[in-house]
Amino acid sequence: MKSIILSSATRLLMPLMLLFSLFAFFRGHNEPGGGFIGGLIAASAFSLYAVAEGVEQARRVLRIDPRTLLGIGLLVGLISGLPSVFKSKAFMTGVWMEQTIPGLGKAGTPLLFDLGVFLVVVGFVLTVVFSLAES
């Protein structure tokens, strides 16, 4: 049964949840938060949308298969360790840019690794949620 109230609330909450997800992701670069909690919040937004509108509609809004997100996240996590190898350091040692980015600070491989974690968490959680909702 489709609820008009849940559907209306989801249309308002989803963009806010995704924005808060990005906030938690970028805040985690220097403070608590990061890829894991940001990914959970983003996955929660799409899960809520799936409950309100149906899994097929949520898949259309997501525009990419969650398993693909999972794979891309693993690849990004692996790639984040390579710059340290090219600088003759141990794999996954943090390497930072010389310039600071306004509002973000110094970006480096830890931020790239966090992006990989974000994508893996979103992909994994949505794969599980969508599979359970479809069965």
* pLDDT band with cut points at 50, 70 and 90 for residue 30: low
Host domain of residue 100: 4-134
| Domain total in the chain | 1
> For the whole model, what pTM was predicted?
0.90
112 against 105, higher pLDDT: 112
Of 36, 35, 41, nearest to 21 by C-alpha is 41
Q: Tokens at residue 7, please?
A: 């559907």
- pLDDT value, residue 117: 95
Strand pairing report for 105-108 and 96-101? antiparallel
Residue length, the chain?
Answer: 135
At residue 100, φ and ψ (nearest 5 deg) are -95, 145
